[in-house]
Amino acid sequence: MLKEIYADLHIHIGRTEKGRAVKITGSKNLTLKNILETATSRKGLDLIGIIDCHSPEVIEEMEQLIREGKAMELSDGGIRYEKTTLIPGSEIEIYDEHCHGPIHVLAYFSSIEKMREFSLWMSGLQKNIHLSSQRIYCDGRSLQHKVVELGGLFIPAHVFTPFKSLYGKGVKKSLREVFDPNLIDGIELGLSSDTNMVKGMSELASYTFVTNSDAHSLGKLAREYQKIRVAEANFEELKKALHQVEGRAIAANYGLNPLLGKYHETVCADCGEQIAEEGLTRCPYCGKEHLVKGVSKRIAELTDENFGEIERPPYIHQVPLDFIPGIGPKTITKLLDAFGTEMNILHKASLEELTAVIPEKLANSIHLARTGKLAITVGGGGVYGKIDAKES
């Protein structure tokens, strides 16, 4: 019997319990325990990928949870904590001798032991194994083969962002410049793109798309996520879903409208003005040469005009609760008390049920947010777009 679960597969750790930095730009309270507790009791996520599990202190913390009886390793892979399964993962930066990069990729493993083996292998190829998203001194294909050897999953991360991504500055034309295309298990779209934007890219046609938060704080968990059709929330079922085996699949992607992404449009990094004209090397407003090419422009360059569409699951534009104007901590607490988790609020509570708990105006804002109908201002150049509390 298959069921539908919610998954966010790209969550960072800011600090270990001992206070050691893992993701330097991550929140200090973004610890392993806090992520697990937030995911299971507040967000309602069934499956999460924490992508800094290669850090030795994080490995120790996962083992400690199991020794204390607070978590358990599953026979089909993953670590169960209450209602949530953790898939241990790692984010790695590639910058090869052919000047491809920097490119961020995600690797996931079925067990703590597999993650420990991967961490030990990487420690000889990185300057600091304790930190997140560190450069690895080997080529992309060598990294892929190690992940496959350990039975892991390999997914290029946020592939269209201008910095540290496959198509941003990573490659000129094709992922084959860096990777073995047969050893990729999925493609992470990133906050400034969605399925519809990249439907014309033929070399991505065979891959499943995932949509994740890249959370650097607890509040950002599940700002983007997916609904997955599986038998259970574990590693082997996730692998089947990515490869659409035995009815398993990504059923839907949920994410911000790409117009809100901070790299959606081309913007001058000096004066902040958006640049609509094509082919410029200097900003027409301030004359500087620091133009940040928007994701929308980069995708247009990579699109095959004559490529026909393939059928994919829906990509649903949705605004997280704490992004909605007027929805503050007190309102969210009321909603959680009434409906249990954010997934219940976003997917199960009717407008009438919401109105019974909070003012009608706020309930209507949530209804518009979860159907992608709130008005927005386009983002670009490293600045997120803005959400207005009115219908678009």
Mean pLDDT of 81-103: 93
**252 closest CA partner among 325, 192, 316:** 316
Find out whether 255 and 197 touch, Cβ atoms under 8 Å. Answer: no
Measured in whole angstroms, the distance separating CA 113 from the mean position of its chain's CA atoms is: 24
SS (H, E, C) the chain: CCEEEEEEEEECCCECCCCCECCCCCCCCCCHHHHHHHHHHHHCCCEEEECECCCHHHHHHHHHHHHCCCCEECCCCCEEECCEEEEEEEEEEECCCCCCCCEEEEEECCCHHHHHHHHHHHHCCCCCCCCCCCEECCCHHHHHHHHHHCCCEEEECCCCCCCCCHHHHHCCCCHHHCCCHHHCCCEECCCCCCCCCCCCCHHHCCCCEECCCCECCHHHCCCCEEEEEECCCCHHHHHHHHCCCCCCEEEEEEECCHHHCCCCECEECCCCCECCCCCCCCCCCCCCCCEECCHHHHHHHHCCCCCCCCCCCCEEECCCHHHCCCCCHHHHHHHHHHHCCHHHHHHCCCHHHHHCCCCHHHHHHHHHHCCCCEEEECCECCECCEEEEEEC
Q: Which of 144-148, 244-248, 281-285, 342-346 has the lowest mean pLDDT?
A: 281-285
What does the pLDDT read at residue 288? 86
Q: Using CA atoms, how far apart are residues 162 and 333, in angstroms rounded to an integer?
A: 37
**Arithmetic mean of pLDDT over the chain:** 93
Q: Which residues pair with 91 in a beta bridge?
A: 106
Find out whether 74 and 34 touch, Cβ atoms under 8 Å. Answer: no
What is the DSSP pairing of strand 84-94 with strand 103-108? antiparallel
When computed from its CA atoms, the radius of gyration of the chain, rounded to whole angstroms, is 21
50: its two tokens? 């924490």
Mean pLDDT of 121-131: 98
What does the pLDDT read at residue 377? 74
What does the pLDDT read at residue 114? 98
Mean pLDDT of 363-375: 87
First to last CA, the chain: 40
Find out whether 98 and 177 touch, Cβ atoms under 8 Å. Answer: yes
Asked whether the predicted pLDDT for residue 375 surpasses 90, the reply is no
Asked whether the predicted pLDDT for residue 390 surpasses 70, the reply is no
What does the pLDDT read at residue 117? 98
What does the pLDDT read at residue 389? 63
What does the pLDDT read at residue 129? 98
What does the pLDDT read at residue 176? 95
Q: What would the CATH number be for the domain defined by 3-255?
A: 3.20.20.140
Q: Using CA atoms, how far apart are residues 286 and 288, in angstroms rounded to an integer?
A: 6
Q: Which residue has the higher pLDDT, 250 or 100?
A: 250
Report residue 65: phi and psi, to 5°: -60, -40
Asked whether the predicted pLDDT for residue 392 surpasses 60, the reply is no
Residue 67: how many other CB atoms lie within 10 Å: 9
Mean pLDDT of 324-345: 95
What does the pLDDT read at residue 8? 98
Mean pLDDT of 246-256: 96
Q: Using CA atoms, how far apart are residues 232 and 156, in angstroms rounded to an integer?
A: 25
Report residue 304: phi and psi, to 5°: -95, 115
Residue 174 pLDDT level (bands cut at 50, 70, 90): very high
Residue type, 292: V
Q: Using CA atoms, how far apart are residues 251 and 85, in angstroms rounded to an integer?
A: 19
Find out whether 94 and 136 touch, Cβ atoms under 8 Å. Answer: yes
What does the pLDDT read at residue 373? 83
Q: Which of 54-63, 125-134, 186-195 has the lowest mean pLDDT?
A: 186-195
**384 closest CA partner among 267, 253, 219:** 267
What does the pLDDT read at residue 292? 85
Asked whether the predicted pLDDT for residue 45 surpasses 90, the reply is yes
372: its two tokens? 């992608």
